[in-house]
Amino acid sequence: MFDIGWTELLLIGIVALIVIGPKDLPEMFRTLGRFTAKARAMAREFQRAMEQAANESGVGDVAKDLKDVTSPKNMGLKAVKDAADKFEKWDPLKNAAKPTAPAAPRPAVPTNSLGTGAEAAAAAGVAAAEPAATVDPGPATKALYEARAEKAAIAREAAEKMRAVDSAAAETDGSAKT
């Protein structure tokens, strides 16, 4: 409270010994002790009176309700923290499924402006080679392949329309010049 160290207390004791004298010093310390005891008793009594007044007015119940409402457990934050802890401790290599035989390497599927390799071969009029037996792709991969195929079809359709517009424009330019 006052942040008085041992050296300060020793200095105060020496000054008190010199100023008050060795004869009256014990009586002064007794009086000082009684005074501090009375002050502490009054502080305890005041604190009890305040706590009693708070209990009678219901402030304690409101404070308890407020603590309950803002507790992490009731807000669901405890479950989130537990899940985050589990995620941080999770090891993806632990309990991972071990393949019994090495999987055959998947053939590379080149993509270009015409789409996947099979679509490019079909557009060029060449028969596509039958791919080697592979593991079926998952639903997300299938959806990705379908989205790429749709984009390639849209691009082909737009290219055909542009060619048609260009050829029509060339014909109208040629007929206008003659």
Percent of the chain scored above 90 by pLDDT? Answer: 26
Residues in the chain: 178
Model confidence pLDDT, tens digit, residues 96-116: 666 566 556 665 555 544 445
Q: How far is CA 104 from CA 132, 134, 141, in A?
A: 9, 7, 18
Distance (Å, whole) CA 155 – CA 151: 6
- Burial profile 34-65: b = 16 or more Cβ within 10 angstroms, e = fewer: eeeeeeeeeeeeeeeeeeeeeeeeeeeeeeee
Distance (Å, whole) CA 144 – CA 137: 10
Taking the domains of the chain in order of start, what are their residue ranges?
Answer: 6-69, 117-125+139-177
Q: What is the per-residue pLDDT for 175? A: 65
Distance (Å, whole) CA 60 – CA 78: 25
Q: Can you state the percent helix, strand and coil of the chain, rounding each to 5?
A: 70, 0, 30
pLDDT band at 149 (very low <50, low <70, confident <90, very high): very high
Model confidence pLDDT, tens digit, residues 10-68: 898 899 889 988 899 889 889 989 999 999 999 999 999 998 888 888 877 888 888 87
Cross-strand bridge partners of residue 112: 115
Q: What is the per-residue pLDDT for 114? A: 47
The pTM (predicted TM-score) of the whole model is 0.31
